[in-house]
Amino acid sequence: MAEETVVNRVQRRRAATVEEILEAAWVLAAQDGLAGLSLRHLAGRLQMRPQSLAWYFPSKNSLYDALYARGHEDFRRRLAEAGPLDVPSAARSFAAFCVENPPRYQLMTQRTVPGFVPSDSAAALARETFGAWRRALQRAGVNDRAHVDVLTALVKGLVDQQITVDPTGDRYLRHLEFVIDMFTRAVASHPPIGAA
Amino acid sequence: MAEETVVNRVQRRRAATVEEILEAAWVLAAQDGLAGLSLRHLAGRLQMRPQSLAWYFPSKNSLYDALYARGHEDFRRRLAEAGPLDVPSAARSFAAFCVENPPRYQLMTQRTVPGFVPSDSAAALARETFGAWRRALQRAGVNDRAHVDVLTALVKGLVDQQITVDPTGDRYLRHLEFVIDMFTRAVASHPPIGAA
DNA sequence: GTCTATATCCAGATAGAC
DNA sequence: GTCTATCTGGATATAGAC
């Protein structure tokens, strides 16, 4: 029906605009800090009035929620597209994903935006993504959750220091291979406390 | 001289008030998020008008700066009082210090408060504290900076995940001994990339 | 040192015209 | 979908009484 087609066209247009908004939001977050995001600045950057932006995202929280959800979708897609991974390439994928967009990393893995709590649906998405990460590591031979938690934390520590202390260099991430190797050997010989 | 005594008394009184303010600020930061600190809320909690609080801290940035400096002083004192440490107890000290006051950890080791940049004097203090941390590890046998960086990042990763994902439990920090052990063995046999 | 009073600026949120 | 208009509130600043 013609009616259906018009609706689809409208939806596509809307989706494209949302896409533009999210893209600009990451850029602004990188400039002004994630918690410093301003809907006014964002609107200005997109050549619209703040009240027009509100038509797409009626609150700051709804924008953060969309960014949060999108981040988890992106990492999940990244994992899926990479196909089967071994431990080193899984760790490298995670680290690369984090440092390529620091505010996204911050939003997804920390709680630094005052008042922001992911919606139920976004939180469910995050759990699915963590499940995918866990299964990827499982296929790579990391079988219990304690090991997954340890590897995740170790890579996160390098990433976080890299972003905070040396955002343009490689002072911390250059030790990634060393840490991966250390982890692999340790897991092979000594199970972590609390392992299944 | 009597004059001198009055001055000292005034200074002590002022220092005590500053102490109260900082103490209340940590509490508020824990409640509302570090970046969500409000000078008005803080003043209200201390039974004073915002303009009176401004007599001690004329801007939000000056408050953050004092908190930042105080955090680094506290960790340095903690290290000094602990005396000579081995690697496990140094790592445990760092981890314990971080989780006992998450906003302090966040302010000291991350960049999540939009617009906050430590003053020169506070930054100098932070460097001194890092120097003390490095010397403490050196006395414990961790001799090159690359190893210090790796250990710091590994512990930070556990701490950060602990605070973010499981703030009331021990899901990540229970692996601290495992990680320390992994680090110690790895350093003994395989120097990190970029080591001196 | 603490207060009242006030003023500017910027932010987010909402109502409603077109 | 986009806009004008308006409301509320926080941050910052200044002048000046007590």
For residue A136, how many other CB atoms are within 10 A of its CB?
Answer: 24
Tell me the mean pLDDT in the region A40-47. Answer: 95
Instruction: Provide long-range contacts, Cβ within 8 A and 24+ apart, for A125-133.
Output: A125/A69, A125/A72, A125/A73, A126/A68, A126/A72, A128/A72, A128/A76, A129/A72, A129/A73, A129/A75, A129/A76, A132/A76, A132/A79, A132/A80, A133/A75, A133/A79, A133/A90, A133/A94
Question: Measured between alpha carbons, how far is A28 from A152 in angstroms, rounded to an integer?
Answer: 28
Average pLDDT of span B105-109: 98
A51 touches strand D (CB under 7 A): yes
User: pLDDT of A130-147, one tens digit each?
Assistant: 999 999 999 999 999 999
Taking the Cβ of residue B108 and every Cβ of chain A, the question of whether any pair is shorter than 8 Å is answered with no
The CATH code that applies to domain B59-196 is 1.10.357.10
**In the CATH scheme, what architecture does the domain B1-58 have?**
Orthogonal Bundle (1.10)
Same CATH topology for A1-58 and A59-196: the answer is no
Structure tokens at B59: 């801007």
Residue B33 Cβ < 7 Å to strand D: no
pLDDT at A4: 67
This prediction's pTM: 0.96
Per-residue model confidence as pLDDT tens digits over A46-90 = 999 999 999 999 999 999 999 999 999 999 999 999 999 999 999
**A51 exposure class (CB count in 10 Å sphere: 0-12, 13-18, 19+):** exposed
A195, pLDDT greater than 60: no
Distance from CA of A149 to the nearest CA of B (A): 7
Residue B108 scores a pLDDT above 90: yes
Domains of chain A: which residue ranges?
A: 1-58, 59-196
Closest residue by C-alpha to C1' distance, nucleotide D9: B40
